[in-house]
Amino acid sequence: MRYIIIGAGAVGGPIGGIAHASRAEVAEVIGDHVRVEQVNGSARPGGSSWQSLSRGTGTIEADFLHGETALLGRLYGVPTPVNEALQRLANRAEAERRSPGFMTPAQVLAAAGVPHA
């Protein structure tokens, strides 16, 4: 079974016949225009969702990041259990004011019902 995971570091393949750029194609377009570097000697600990949870802002973009992918999956008959789980878990983390990393990747996959090693 193929899974589409967007926003979590991997894309499982085209959804609904819409192709995606390979990592090599993305790297070619981005080139050295986007870099993740230390700022004032501090490593970047995470993306915007991580930052929102760290600051306890009460908002997180899980519905946009993972909800849209899950919706496309439903529309085109492609299972997106990890995106559905990420959306649900991120919104729960926001509501419960959880810290980033409150679950391991294995726990997230288990919550999604996806077999993992």
Query: Is residue 49 included in any domain, yes or no?
Result: no
- In this predicted model, what pLDDT tens digit does every residue of 42-56 receive, in sequence order? 776 778 888 888 888
Query: Is residue 78 included in any domain, yes or no?
Result: yes
Query: Is residue 51 included in any domain, yes or no?
Result: no
- In this predicted model, what pLDDT tens digit does every residue of 13-41 receive, in sequence order? 554 555 667 778 878 888 888 776 777 77
Query: Is residue 87 included in any domain, yes or no?
Result: yes
Q: Look at the chain and report how many structural domains it folds into.
A: 1
What domain range includes position 112?
1-34+56-117
Q: Is residue 116 over pLDDT 50?
A: yes
- In this predicted model, what pLDDT tens digit does every residue of 54-83 receive, in sequence order? 888 878 888 888 888 889 889 988 888 888
Q: How confident is the model at residue 4 (pLDDT cuts 50, 70, 90)?
A: very low
Instruction: Supply φ then ψ for residue 77, to 5 degrees.
Output: 70, 30
Query: Is residue 16 included in any domain, yes or no?
Result: yes
- 57-to-18, 45, 73, 97 alpha-carbon distances in Å: 34, 17, 29, 9
Count helices and strands (H / E) in the chain: 6, 0
Tell the residue number behind the tokens 């790297």, with chain if given: 27
Minimal CA–CA distance to 4: which of 90, 93, 99, 112? 112
- In this predicted model, what pLDDT tens digit does every residue of 85-109 receive, in sequence order? 889 999 999 999 888 888 888 888 8
Say how far apart CA 54 and CA 28 lie, in whole Å.
Answer: 33
Cβ neighbours for 61, distance < 8 A, ≥ 6 positions apart = 48, 49, 52
